[in-house]
Amino acid sequence: MPIVPKGFVNQSQIDSGVQRTMQALAPAVVRIRYSLGSDWTGEPSVFFRIVLSDEASTRDQLSKIAQRVALTILNEVRAEELGLHSYFNFRSLSEQEELKEPAWA
């Protein structure tokens, strides 16, 4: 999979937007991690991994919270201005504690 050269992407803009999103949506958002790469079409992309609190991950809350998080990230990071497509994956805190995937830590 081709990787987007980090030198061509303003990672500080992404980092700042992620931090603002986490502050705005705490405690529902526990943490946000991201990686840069190409999507299945070869387009430069940013892949966000969002860990939500267990309360925010309930069946009743998940859809609403996921939409709010994605919209906030889009507004704060403005990845499209960097020429990146945005992708979002969500996981609950208890799920991450069970799986212990380093990329989500």
Q: For the purposes of burial, counting CB atoms within 10 Å of the CB of 79, is it exposed (0-12), middle (13-18) or buried (19 or more)?
A: buried
Instruction: Please report the pLDDT score of residue 11 as a whole number.
Output: 87
pLDDT digits (tens, 9 = 90+) for 71-105: 999 999 999 988 899 999 999 999 999 999 999 99
**pLDDT-based confidence at residue 1 (cuts at 50, 70, 90):** very low
Query: In the sheet that 85-92 helps form, which strands lie side by side, from edge to edge?
Result: 29-38, 44-52, 85-92
Mean pLDDT of 61-80: 95
Instruction: Please report the pLDDT score of residue 65 as a whole number.
Output: 96
pLDDT digits (tens, 9 = 90+) for 4-42: 555 467 789 899 999 999 999 999 999 999 999 999 999
Instruction: Please report the pLDDT score of residue 9 as a whole number.
Output: 77
Q: CA–CA separation, 37 vs 53, rounded Å? A: 27
| DSSP 8-state code for residue 42 | S
Query: Given the DSSP bridges, would you call strands 44-52 and 29-38 parallel, antiparallel or unpaired?
Result: antiparallel
End-to-end Cα, the chain, rounded Å? 23
Domain ranges, ordered by start, for the chain: 9-104
**Is residue 2's pLDDT more than 50?**
no
Instruction: Please report the pLDDT score of residue 29 as a whole number.
Output: 97
CB 65, CB 56: distance < 8 Å: yes
Classified by CATH at the fold level, domain 9-104 comes out as Alpha-Beta Plaits (3.30.70)
Q: CA–CA separation, 101 vs 105, rounded Å? A: 7
